[in-house]
Amino acid sequence: MIIYLNGEFVTESDAKVSVLDHGFLYGDGVFEGIRMYSGCIFKLKEHIDRLYDSAKVIMLNIPMSKDEMISAIVETVKRNGLSDGYIRVVVSRGVGDLGLDPRKCPRPSVVIIADNIKLYPQELYTKGLSIITVPTRRNIPEALNPQVKSLNYLNNIMAKIEAVHRGYEEALMLNHEGYVAECTGDNIFMIKASVLITPPTSVGVLKGITARTVMEIAARLGMEVKEERFTRYDLYTADEVFLTGTAAEIIPVIKIDDRLIGEAKPGKFTWDIIREFRKITSVDGVKVI
């Protein structure tokens, strides 16, 4: 594997970051996960815009322009000979001292990794996923806004641990008020009476790029699309439920907290959306030639 590291392309074994980097010490930094399909880096511009927005919020100056970042990503993909895969872009605060002060970090570190990823077993994409609500609540926006894709994912990891120890692949997270927020790395959608509904960002969820794409697809299919607060009751009584994310793509959910959803199998609207999603993944983005 060839990795981009601060302006150079190095092998995996030579891709080394200092132990004094504040990304390692404190999770001080931002990242993006990006998919590539049939030589097309899907929604690359949207991902880069979100990366730079996250960096701006935490006052982290990325030491390259957006165009330079895109060029570095494309070159990393080419050097790894990928036509399908997963790209991880990481920008940390950089090397500093053992204190918190970001002023002690004169230059951010930039890392680009292009490889493959498998978030869930393949059979769950056809049969459907079972999830469970966990005690850990989603961060409140006033503490750490989930719109910032920071390197500190401990809130999500704690929820993942709780799900895994109960024998589940994924966890449902509620916000501090008890409303449905999202899963550990995915947005959540439900369909009720042909209406597609997902939580608004105000409950503490990431504005997902795959989620936004799904909403556009649903609208083109003639579905009514809503962003509104809802509770677990609404999920339990939904006709269909599915999760979306760059790494997860679109995965149906057939059981939540031991309640069967709809007919306990991936529903018609979910499959319609998945089929339309697959049509655009190899054309909506930046082609790597």
Domain boundaries, the chain: 2-115, 123-280
pLDDT of residue 73: 98
* Paired sense of beta strands 2-5 and 109-115, if any: antiparallel
Q: Which fold has domain 123-280?
A: D-amino Acid Aminotransferase; Chain A, domain 2 (3.20.10)
Neighbour-count burial of 102, counting CB atoms closer than 10 A to its CB (0-12 exposed, 13-18 middle, 19+ buried): middle
CA atoms of 137 and 66, how far apart (whole Å) = 34
Kindly report the pTM of this predicted structure: 0.94
Q: Could you please report the per-residue DSSP string of 161-187?
A: HHHHHTT-SEEEEE-TTS-EEEESS-E
Q: Is the pLDDT of residue 289 over 80?
A: no
Q: Span 2-115: which CATH code?
A: 3.30.470.10
Pick the residue with more confidence: 119 or 16? 16
Contact status, residue 34 vs residue 87, Cβ threshold 8 Å: yes
Beta bridge partners of 166: none
Is-catalytic flag, 149?
yes
Could you give the 3-state DSSP secondary structure of residue 81?
coil
Neighbour-count burial of 239, counting CB atoms closer than 10 A to its CB (0-12 exposed, 13-18 middle, 19+ buried): middle
Q: Is the pLDDT of residue 271 over 90?
A: yes
What is the residue whose two structure tokens read 């080394």? 16
* Paired sense of beta strands 195-198 and 109-115, if any: unpaired
- pLDDT tens string 134-174: 999 999 988 989 999 999 999 999 999 999 999 999 999 99
CA atoms of 52 and 5, how far apart (whole Å) = 18
pLDDT of residue 119: 83
- pLDDT tens string 97-144: 999 999 999 999 999 999 998 888 899 999 999 999 999 999 998 898
The residue from 149, 207, 255, 265 that is catalytic is 149
